[in-house]
Amino acid sequence: MSYFWSPPNNIKYNVYLTVPCKSCELEPVISRRYSGEILCRKCFFKSFEKNADRELRNQINRLSSSSELKINRIGVGLSGGKDSTVSLHILNMYSRNRGIDLIGLCVDEGIENYRSESLGYAKKQCSDLDVEIRISSYKDLIGMTLDELLRKVPPVASPCSPCGVLRRRSLNNMAKSANVDCMVLGHNLDDFSQTVLMNHSRGDVSRLVRMAPHRHVQSGFVPRLLPLRRLPEQEVYLYAFLKGMNFHDGDCPYAGKAQRNLFRKMLLELENKQPGTRHSLLNGMEKIRENSPAPSELSSCPSCGEPSGGDRPCVFCREFGSFAV
């Protein structure tokens, strides 16, 4: 008995299995080196969904108890890719019989030959699940697409930096407009552990404490939850693939210039040599947060009134104030 699987995006992670599922003796589909588990399709689905559901419930309960917030309406950040597609399906299962409304929130950066195709998948996913969808664009926000912005003001470093600022502002604006109580993003374990490592490399402990999933509600800022943060990217892809989900399987044309690529490569090598490294980074970050005071209340930007980390104008106004619509 054998099985071979190679995930997308040039992740060198091939699996050859010659032993049956440890739970039920059926043909396996995955071997988790970080835990020693070998699982068949049915057991993998059960384990994956249990992990995501537990993480979501814990994050919602922690947010609700610390902020006295009742969760009735959740926004789901959607791109049409595998992570947000799986997140939407997990939220759809979670919201059943709980009286929770879902709404898909999509950002159109205006990247030629990329975003329009992926948004088509997001629209179809919401239509199939009867979920409302809203789309906001950078053109609505600053009067130009990302492609146009990068031609007009070439970034000193990676294009991902200005894009991240615009994406966060777009999502927060949409979430507030949709009156959601919190927002779910599809960040997987790889995404999360890379961000932790990047913040460690900068010595930025305060940013580690402020990272999503948020435990407190800040005025003007919609808290974000990450139900997939303990699930590796390979498993998210495998789950979507085996479930027959239709999703956009392409990379942003600007992604190759991202600083994150260096940390992604480092972590994949570390995980290969020392399975469990990604989980250890996550658990270490949680210990730092548990032993740190709650983040201080955000200030209001003197220019736009949106949340800001200090008394001076927020990053959006400093970088894009002259373009804001």
pLDDT, tens digit, 9 for 90 and up, residues 73-90: 999 999 999 999 999 999
The pLDDT, as a whole number, for residue 66 is: 85
pTM of the complete model beyond 0.85 = yes
Q: Is the pLDDT of residue 325 over 70?
A: no
CA atoms of 201 and 225, how far apart (whole Å): 24
The pLDDT, as a whole number, for residue 106 is: 98
pLDDT, tens digit, 9 for 90 and up, residues 145-195: 999 999 999 888 889 999 999 999 999 999 999 999 999 999 999 999 999
Q: Is the pLDDT of residue 12 over 80?
A: no
- In order of 4, 32, 48, 277, 293, the CA distances from 16 in angstroms are 5, 12, 20, 22, 46
Q: Is the pLDDT of residue 124 over 80?
A: yes
The pLDDT, as a whole number, for residue 296 is: 83
CA atoms of 79 and 158, how far apart (whole Å): 21
The pLDDT, as a whole number, for residue 22 is: 81
pLDDT, tens digit, 9 for 90 and up, residues 217-267: 998 999 999 999 999 999 999 999 999 999 999 999 998 888 899 999 999
Q: Is the pLDDT of residue 5 over 80?
A: no
pLDDT, tens digit, 9 for 90 and up, residues 15-59: 456 688 888 889 999 999 999 999 999 999 999 999 999 999 999
The CATH number, out of the four listed (3.40.190.10, 3.30.9.10, 3.40.50.300, 3.40.50.620), of the domain defined by the range 47-294: 3.40.50.620
- Domains of the chain: which residue ranges? 47-294, 300-325
Nearest to 267 by CA among 286, 280, 283, 284: 280
The pLDDT, as a whole number, for residue 97 is: 85
- β pairing state of 28-32 and 37-40: antiparallel
Helix (H) or strand (E) holding 32: strand 28-32
What's the rounded mean pLDDT across residues 292-318? 88
∠284-287-288 over CA atoms, to 5°? 90
What does 58-101 look like in DSSP terms, one character per residue? HHHHHHHHHHT----EEEEEE-SSHHHHHHHHHHHHHHTTTT-E
